[in-house]
Chains A and B, each alone.
Chain A
Amino acid sequence: MIDPAWMPERLAAFLGPVLGPEVRVESYEQVLGGFSRLTARFRCSVDGGPSRTLILRGDPPPERETTRTDRGVEFRVMSALYRAGTVPLPEPLALDESGTALGTPAMVMEDVPGRSLLHEAAATDAAGRPDLAMRLVDLAVRIHTVDTASLPELDRARDWDGYIDGCIAAWREIERGHPESDPFIRYLATWLDVNRPPPAPLGLVHGDFQSTNVMVRPDGQFVALDWELPHIGDPREDLGWCKWNEAIQPPGLMDVDEERFCREYAERSGLGADVVNPRTVGYFSVLSAVNACRMALPSIAAFARGANSNLVAGYIVGYVATFHQQFLEVTRGIEKASVGTS
């Protein structure tokens, strides 16, 4: 899909009906970043006008796939959010859902100039990070308060308990489907079931909310990228997942002052401090890992039996060990904190 020998020509033909009859692709390069999708950046001009930079994001070939998500869902959710205008995100421009035009299911979107929030945080001194953290709160609240009526693509659980039941069942299902027993997952599923936090209203969840998926524009605006895992769920999943990723991709922003982060989020979202606090976010930091495990374990299994030769699939075994570590650390930490407050 990413072959620079022929992709510019295909892109020009594909984008013609969307952008204008005379699309010319002037440059094309692969972008390193996410592990799941193939990404390329290219410049193109339309009808001889000024050139613009766009992003192509598509599925890798099956033997190199680490996860399966739907470009059509991603494109339609992004389009609905872009039209609503409350969540900053790249403008989605074109979708090749079947892959007939570009060789694989793919979408084209606006390129967002700037740098990732992870790099921004690394380049910001300790005094400046609290401000970044508060702007991250703002982005999270914007996502989580979207009117979900505009997102018919996404499934709805009957209620909060039903949703959490489904997440826990998903954990057990992942373990059952893996060719090697994983007692950490079985432990976690049991623990999650008996340690449920107070419920929160279900809403839009980004699904991979972390500092590598937030771009900071030159004017300072935060933009949410990588919408391949959106769903209707508990908004604390995004906070928990962000917290989890900070542990393996420092520097963190939530951990600058987690109490304050949670307090600000609770206030701006209207959810309240009993619903959003470091303990409940900790609960969701392990619950929300379900999506990552659902993606990682099948690709590891495929790698083990020789059906997948993607180096990433072998490499992320270390990632799974880190999940196990987090499961125990977080559950122990929450239990200790609960004893301290009871």
Chain B
Amino acid sequence: MITQPSCGRYLEVVREELRATVAPAVTDPAAQAALGMIDSILAAVATRCDHEVAWMREEIADIEACATAVLDAGADPAGMVAEALAALRAHRSPSDHTGDVRAEYDLAGEVLSRSLEAGLARGGELAGVVRGALERRLAREMQIRGEFSLVGR
């Protein structure tokens, strides 16, 4: 297969063409708003497409470490975090296809949710540990989202 140009590069050029050639020729406000939304979506896709699987795998590992900290601190008396962690480990992605990794990432999301509930209830240092995992997830979301303001207003 041909891997160059990369998907990110393609999208970069498409965005530029829309901005420089198409947008100036568009006067209808609804079409202008649609172009603004398309550009925002393409920017996010361009950021995701070349890294998405690696980023999900990195975050899954981060979440597992966070959940382990909750378990080590004895902050999971009802076993909710342990249960979600076991489900995650029992259903690892069978491939590197995005859909498979996404399914594993979704299970990791549940582990993080339960770790947050347990860690915030415990408070102190553990609350900071679990919130740290959420903040790292947010940093990635901000990287993907980029600048954002509502178009068409």
**Is B135's beta carbon under 8 Å from chain A?**
yes
Within the assembled complex, what's the spacing in Å between the Cα atoms of A212 and B44? 26
**Is A43's beta carbon under 8 Å from chain B?**
no
Binds B, one of A105-113, A196-204, A253-261, A320-328: A320-328
Min CB distance, A297 to chain B, in Å? 14
Does the CB pair A187–B109 fall under 8 Å?
no
Residues in A neighbouring B16, C-beta threshold 8 A: none
Measuring CB to CB, which residues of chain A are less than 8 angstroms from any residue of chain B?
30, 32-33, 35, 118, 175, 180-184, 186-187, 190-191, 194, 212, 248-249, 311-312, 314-315, 317-319, 321-322, 324-325, 328
In chain B, what residue has the closest Cβ to A189?
Answer: B117
Min CB distance, A198 to chain B, in Å? 22
**Is B3's beta carbon under 8 Å from chain A?**
no
Residues in A neighbouring B144, C-beta threshold 8 A: 321
Within the assembled complex, what's the spacing in Å between the Cα atoms of A180 and B113? 12
Residues in B neighbouring A118, C-beta threshold 8 A: 153
Does the CB pair A312–B37 fall under 8 Å?
yes
Classify the interface of chain A: helix, strand, loop or mixed: helix
Does the CB pair B141–A183 fall under 8 Å?
no
Q: Which of B111-153 contact A (CB under 8 A)?
A: 112-114, 116-117, 120-121, 131, 134-135, 137-138, 141-142, 144-146, 148-153
Residues in B neighbouring A190, C-beta threshold 8 A: 116-117, 120-121
Does the CB pair B134–A315 fall under 8 Å?
no
In chain A, what residue has the closest Cβ to B115?
Answer: A183
Residues in B neighbouring A191, C-beta threshold 8 A: 120
**Is B106's beta carbon under 8 Å from chain A?**
yes
Does the CB pair B40–A183 fall under 8 Å?
no
